[in-house]
A and B are shown apart, each in its own frame.
Chain A
Amino acid sequence: MSKRTVEVELSTSGMDAQGRAQRVPLVTNDGGTALAIEPPPGIEPELEGEHMLINIGPQHPATHGVLRLVLELDGETVVRCIPHIGYLHCGFEKIGEYRQYNQIICWTDREDYLNSIGNNVAFALGAERLFGIEVTERCKVLRVIAAELSRIMSHLVWLGTFCIDIGAFTPFLWAFQRREEIYRLIEKWVGARLTTSATRVGGMAADIPVGWMDGLRQFTRTFPQTLDEIDRVLTKNAIWVGRTVGLGVMTPDEAVNWGLSGPMLRASGVDYDVRKDFPYMDYETYDFDVPVGTSGDVYDRYLVRFEEMRQSVRILNQAADRLPDGPINIDDPRVILPPKSKATSEMESMIHHFKVVMEGPRPPIGESYVAVESPKGEKGYYMVSDGTAKPVRWRIRPPSFVNLAAIPKMVEGHLLSDVIAINASIDIVMGEIDR
């Protein structure tokens, strides 16, 4: 196992050994040495005994959605944190019980909306397991491209908003500029930017258009330069380090016991990546590394996610190289529609089209839980079929939901301003938490 070491210079002035900002003396005498500031007469040096109740959210830019945190503060230190969620609850799982499998795909766009095409892929994998379908090679590679593009997209949003929360504005603009390029690529492919609905049970909604691969290669060639730029600006920046190191620490045992997954878990030093440990879509044949942090704090989560974007670029390059020719949909009349030209000219094809659309494909009785490595963590779709065209139960295992449950543990004992940094480091999407 090879290791790459990131060295961080912490000896910037104004920092102590732990990277926290030192107190800067405000008043100096003529010789330049600091004077102790006496409290003005009549003012208590410290207010004791009274805890304050602070409400953050649900409508607050730093809560990344409609999250509400009720904080008990002792001075500026958080004593207790009570999170409230559910403001965005729409009952996706209930609605899924009234929809056919292909109709549910458009609901998966809307839960983790930063990773919509990745959710489409995950749902299609789960449904195909339930139908006992193996998709074509071309489809698999296209899905890997889709999943990795959306991972980069999601991490760029996280990076940009994290920077804003901590007070760096420029990397936000760089990140969103590159994200816009991915959106353009996705739009050329499936016609939509955010609500992609790109997959179908047994294949994809559309093949990539002519010349699309050139756009992807252009992106993978130039994107690492942006990463390098952001890296230069942030990774060794004294303010950045001071605001992130040592915050919200989760030890490996705690992280596993609290059910954290994805970059949150790996930042704590646990080498668990669904793509490596329970592979799907032939991820074991791609050469990529899994970055694992050492201290489990906010800074390590930043390093891990940053490295994941570089690794995604590696996977994208390999996928672009190996993309085979061939059909994207399997040849199975149970689930796949006939070609449009035939459906409008042949009676049998029209009836076939009608039956697949109106009655819907029926999987055999059974159940499947398929988990993928989404940008937020282990995202699973658990589906139970009773042999009809609609699932009895469609369960989303939301990684952000489980990761957010650990926020009281992470923020207690830290300062109020650190709550914002810790919350941003979890990378939550309320659409996925509330569903």
Chain B
Amino acid sequence: MRTFEVVRTGLLASTGHPATQRDVPHRGGEANPSAKALQDKFGWAIERSEVVWGETVVFVEPASVKQVIHWLHDDPSQRYDFLSDVTAVEYRDAEVPIEVVWHLRSLPYRRFLRIKSQIAKGQPLEIDSVYDIYRSADWLERECYDMFGIRFRGHPDLRRILMWESYKEGFPLRKDFPLRGRFSRSEQLRQALAQNPEARYSMEELSIADAFAELPEDMRRRLDKGERTGE
């Protein structure tokens, strides 16, 4: 006999009663207390903070983002243990820098915080990875790299995730990337037809089975040249 308990948290069971937000102001309103705590603790790294549509946004200087998020995760008064999302925003105005955005949730305190970091124009698109702090950052950062070309320093396996690894057209969500792709349809078709349908495994995967010797000759040549064929 084994028992399973289904905990039933009814209408009034949860502590505190969060309610649907109503009449949220466009700017201003009550800020998340973590914004002030961050200002006190990391005043040198915080550029500014604002409240937009009821959500607190803290702008952090790129070099200290990881340190700030680490503190938010570990400090007992903050406990932002849930990383909802990592993404980036590029504006239509080419003068505005690209922003990397982290959406953090504190499940114990029921707080939501948005951390933003602006990578100045002309700087390399690089920022520290938060993979060591949140494992959920693994695929989210890979997607952000795939779509925007932002390199996350310290990510153990930063490669394309939605596009295939030999994709050569660039980073699709950048504003200078045309909606229909950079290559013409005929070029895209030519490349698709030129793909070797057998070339489905990366070198790393082939090393599992020691299957390199069984590959077709042309694929072996390409792999020897260092070409990665995995998707």
Contact = CB atoms under 8 A, between A and B. Distances in A.
Interface stretch (A40-48, A83-91, A111-119, A194-202): A83-91
Interface string A240-280: 00000100000000001111100000000011100011111
Interface stretch (B13-21, B62-70, B119-127): B13-21
Contacts of A260: 136
A333 interface: no
A384 B57 CA distance: 13
A3 interface: yes
Contacts of B101: 382
Interface stretch (A154-162, A164-172, A390-398, A411-419): A390-398
A86 B87 contact: no
A189 interface: no
Contacts of B5: 3-6, 294
Interface string A52-79: 1101000000000000101010000000
Given A257-B81, A279-B18, A1 B90 contact: no
A384 B19 contact: no
A98 interface: yes
A361 interface: no
B135 interface: yes
B192 interface: no
Contacts of A278: 18, 110, 112
Given A303-B6, A382-B103, A393-B89, A434 B162 contact: yes
Q: Which of B20, B134, B173 has the most CB of A within 10 A?
A: B20
Interface stretch (B30-38, B39-47, B205-213, B216-224): B205-213
A380 B112 CA distance: 13
B194 interface: no
A284 B26 contact: no
Contact of A5 (B3, B20, B114, B173): B3
A367 interface: yes
Contact of A405 (B10, B54, B136, B200): B136
A276 B14 contact: yes
B10 A289 contact: yes
Contact of A386 (B7, B93, B201): B93
Interface in A133-183: 134
A367 B101 CA distance: 12
Contact of A277 (B8, B18, B53, B81): B18
B81 A256 contact: yes
Interface in B51-75: 52-55, 57
Given A132-B26, A289-B10, A257 B205 contact: no
Interface in B138-183: 138-140, 143, 147, 160-164, 172-173, 177, 179
A94 interface: yes
A351 interface: no
A7 B1 contact: yes
B92 to A, nearest CB: 6
A82 interface: yes
Nearest to A7: B3
Contacts of B24: 129, 132
A4 B135 contact: no
B189 interface: no
Contact of A82 (B4, B17, B160, B205): B205
Chain B CB count within 10 A is highest, among A9, A134, A290, A295, for A290
Contact of A257 (B17, B91, B135, B204): B135
Contacts of B2: 7-8, 10, 19, 245
B10 A307 contact: no
A256 B23 contact: no
Contacts of B107: 256, 270, 272, 277
A225 interface: no
A369 interface: yes
B135 A259 contact: yes
A153 to B, nearest CB: 22
B185 interface: no
A357 interface: no
Contacts of A55: 200-201
A144 to B, nearest CB: 11
A85 B103 contact: no
Contact of B11 (A3, A52, A94, A287): A287
A364 interface: yes
Which among A72, A367, A435 has the highest number of chain B CB atoms within 10 Å? Answer: A367
A121 to B, nearest CB: 14
16 contacts: A5-B5, A55-B200, A68-B231, A70-B201, A259-B135, A271-B9, A272-B82, A282-B20, A284-B11, A290-B9, A291-B7, A291-B8, A380-B103, A386-B92, A393-B87, A402-B139
Given A55-B201, A94-B172, 15 more contacts: A1-B9, A2-B13, A4-B8, A8-B4, A19-B2, A80-B208, A95-B179, A256-B81, A257-B136, A259-B134, A280-B20, A284-B17, A303-B4, A369-B103, A392-B92
